[in-house]
Amino acid sequence: MPALSRILLLAAFVVPLAASAQMLQNQPPPQHRLIHRTTFALRHNPLGVLLDSRVSYRYRLYESESLALRDNFLGLGVAPTLSPAFVRVGPYAEFSPLSLFNVWAALQYVQYFGNFDQLQGFPGAQSDFSDSALQDNTDNRFSAHGWELTLGATFQAKVSRLLVRSQARLVRGDLNLRPGDRIYYDQFYDVGAPNAGWFATNDLDVLYQGAGNRLLTGARYTATVPFYGEAKHFDPAHPSTEESNASQRVGPFVAYTFKAEDGALFNTPTVFVLVQWWLQHRFRTGEDTSAALPLIGIGFQTTGDFLPVK
């Protein structure tokens, strides 16, 4: 294998909690692929239950035997996400010019049901949207709908058994909040999201792939930053306009894949556990919950091909 391919080999088993490229193990992708990916996850601090799916058609751009180049495609699909508090669904598109790099965009219609302390809007970035406030503000819950645009870029590479992946997302939500509400609490990303504004989040993984390509162990660092407009997203009744509501967390990540078979309809069944301690968060480092309490996530993911790959 050429040195470049060894360095830039895409990590086919780095699938949990990410938009995996679903690279075939033993062959280049066919000209046409119809694939799916489904993730079910439970989370604590913040609390959440989520079913996230992708179904997409991929068209291979060019043929290559190089592991660094062969998983190239242009893809179109649908992206449904469901939780007890909301549903999101809409089209998405992705582009991979080579195996290690992928850019994508999703435009989803969002409907909040008005239950489980969701949805809640607030006058500005200075507002208290801690877990205690969300539970106590019984008059602040309402159903709402709107659109969410997500722009993403993923880089993932492998050197020997060391896997590195960075998945960045830029998100804009436009919801029909109540008059006077300038931000809303987005439970999915755990952020005071600016309405009709942007926030960015990135997951950086450094993982070790065990013998047999089944076990992954390592760490994940996550950072989220909302971008507030001074006149647009701060409460004019509050004198301060310096609240950032940025957050950071880091901790161990473990995943185990039971099987991997090119072309299987039910493929790469994977269980995973993520534990991250909060390094920065306005409410989760002592003000509302103890900094000793981490985010804990467990889940299951599977992928597959609807069409034959040979």
Q: What tens digit of pLDDT does each residue of 258-308 get?
A: 999 999 999 999 999 999 999 999 999 998 999 999 999 999 999 999 999
Residue 191 has pLDDT above 90, yes or no: yes
The bridge status of strand 32-44 relative to strand 295-305 is antiparallel
Contact criterion met (CB below 8 Å) for 99 and 68: yes
The answer as to whether 310 is a domain residue is no
DSSP one-letter string for the chain: --HHHHHH---TT--TTS------SSSPPPSEEEEEEEEEEEEETTTEEEEEEEEEEEE--S----TTTSS-EEEEEE--EE-SSEEEE-EEEEEEEETTEEEEEEEEEEEE-S-TT--BEESSTTS--SHHHHHH-GGGB--EEEEEEEEEEEEEEEETTEEEEEEEEEEEEEE-PPTT--EEEETTTTEEEEBTEEEEEEEEEEEEEPTTS-EEEEEEEEEEEEE--TTTSS-TTSS-------EEEEEEEEEEE----TT-SSEEEEEEEEEEEEEE-TTTTTTSS-TTS-EEEEEEEEEEESS---
What total of structural domains would you count in the chain? 1
Q: 197 lies in a domain?
A: yes
Q: What's the pLDDT score for residue 21?
A: 62
Measured in whole angstroms, how far is the alpha carbon of residue 251 from the centre of its chain? 16
Q: Is pLDDT at 77 greater than 80 in this prediction?
A: yes
Give phi and psi for 308, each to the nearest 5: -60, 145
3-state secondary structure 82-146: ECCCEEEECEEEEEEEECCEEEEEEEEEEEECCCCCCCEEECCCCCCCCHHHHHHCHHHECCEEE
Identify residue 150 by its one-letter amino acid code. T
Q: Is residue 164 part of a domain?
A: yes
Within a domain: 294: yes
Average pLDDT value for the chain? 90
Mean predicted confidence (pLDDT) in 209-231: 92
pLDDT at 213: 78
- What's the CATH code of the domain at 100? 2.40.160.40
Residue 90 contacts residue 79 (beta carbons within 8 Å): yes
Quick: pLDDT tens for 96-121.
Answer: 999 999 999 999 999 999 888 789 99
**Prediction pTM value:** 0.90
Note whether residue 184 is domain-resident: yes
**In a domain? residue 189:** yes
Which range of residues forms the domain containing residue 189?
3-305
Examine residue 106 and state whether it is found in any structural domain, yes or no. Answer: yes
SS (H, E, C) 41-55: EEEECCCEEEEEEEE
